[in-house]
Amino acid sequence: MRVFVAGATGAIGRQLVPRLVAAGHEVHGMTRFESKKAMLDELGAVPVVADALDPDQVAEAVGTARPDVIVHQLTAIGALDMRHFDRDFAPTNRLRTEGTDHLLSAGQAVGVRRFVAQGVAGYGAYARTGGPVKSEEDPLDPTPAREMRETLAAIRHLEEAVLNARWTEGIVLRYGAFYGPGTSMAPDGEYAELIRKRRFPLVGDGGGVWPFIHVADAAEATVAAVEHGSRGVYNVVDDDPAPVAEWLPALARTLGAKQPMRVPRFIGRLFAGEAGVMMMTELRGASNAKAKRELAWRPAHPSWRQGFTAA
């Protein structure tokens, strides 16, 4: 198939493009920068220069490539201060609202068969009530932390726009927190740095449950969704959702860092805001049963326990 990847140069895109190429697909990879064309070329993609926020550029890029499938992996997360979650996610939120709409319009104009988009299983997507591990049927959070309202509204916009596009097979992959090469959890990444400096404390009981996924496994699941996914949502997470009180000390050990400091919730709120405290104490994990069953996919790193060390 001909596959158009928006976000081809990012942490997930760099894992995804070579796998699609190896599976025999013709990949067109989008970037804003002429300077990144060589990288895309090396990954095996036809480079396409366009800004996702410019509808005319997106229409032209997609119109020229005439893909069978569009994959939307656009984010612009960068440095994140949990106290100002929505402020720091504002560029990503635009990509998830306007960017999604432009890609869908361009895709409809050429009649793409599938549209696969990046969703979120971590950072507060699922309602913080009931059991610790959620399936795709469970409700999204109706009352997000105050500093995350715009971000979760943008995620909802993306999901609704993709799932309601009846002219195509609209698929949302709710990825767990990425770790592995090129991610913020990698040994040279931003989170690892904070953990080494003991600036990533364990807040309250550390009972927030995080879903993780190695970025290479996320890419494998995405190839499966591109090839035979059906309209709907899939959690793309590992087999082992775990509370912060388990994974954070383990990650610190793996990084050779001192154990994280423990702080009560009210101190946590000062440093990480309501959003940070929620993620440390209330977050829910996700189940990958549907993705395993319907995409015939298995993560090569079934648990972060071994995955962190391997990465």
Ligand X SMILES: NC(=O)c1ccc[n+]([C@@H]2O[C@H](COP(=O)([O-])OP(=O)(O)OC[C@H]3O[C@@H](n4cnc5c(N)ncnc54)[C@H](OP(=O)(O)O)[C@@H]3O)[C@@H](O)[C@H]2O)c1
For ligand X, the binding residues in 126-185 under the rule CB under 6 A are: 175, 177-178, 182-184
Q: Does 188 bind ligand X (CB under 6 A)?
A: no
Instruction: Give how far Cα 196 sits from Cα of 37, 62, 278, Å.
Output: 35, 43, 22
Q: Determine which residue in the list 4, 10, 268, 291 makes contact with ligand X, applying CB under 6 A.
A: 10
- Closest by CA to 8, choosing from 36, 35, 32, 29, is 29
Strands 26-31, 2-6: pairing kind: parallel
By beta-carbon proximity to ligand X, the closer residue of 100 and 184 is 184
Site string for ligand X, 92-121 (x = CB under 6 A): ---x--------------------------
74 is a site residue for ligand X (CB under 6 A): yes
Nearest distance from residue 266's CB to ligand X, in Å?
28
Which range of residues in 24-32, 64-72, 245-253, 297-305 is near ligand X by CB under 6 A? 24-32
CB of 235 to ligand X, least distance (A): 11
Please, which residue, 81 or 205, has the CB nearer to ligand X? 81
Backbone angles phi, psi at 113, to 5 degrees: -75, -35
Residue 117 and residue 173 in contact, taking contact as beta carbons nearer than 8 Å = yes
Per CB under 6 A, does 75 bind ligand X? yes
Torsion, Cα of 74, 209, 278, 141 (10° steps):
60
For ligand X, the binding residues (CB under 6 A) are 7-11, 13, 30-33, 36, 51-53, 74-78, 95, 122, 175, 177-178, 182-184
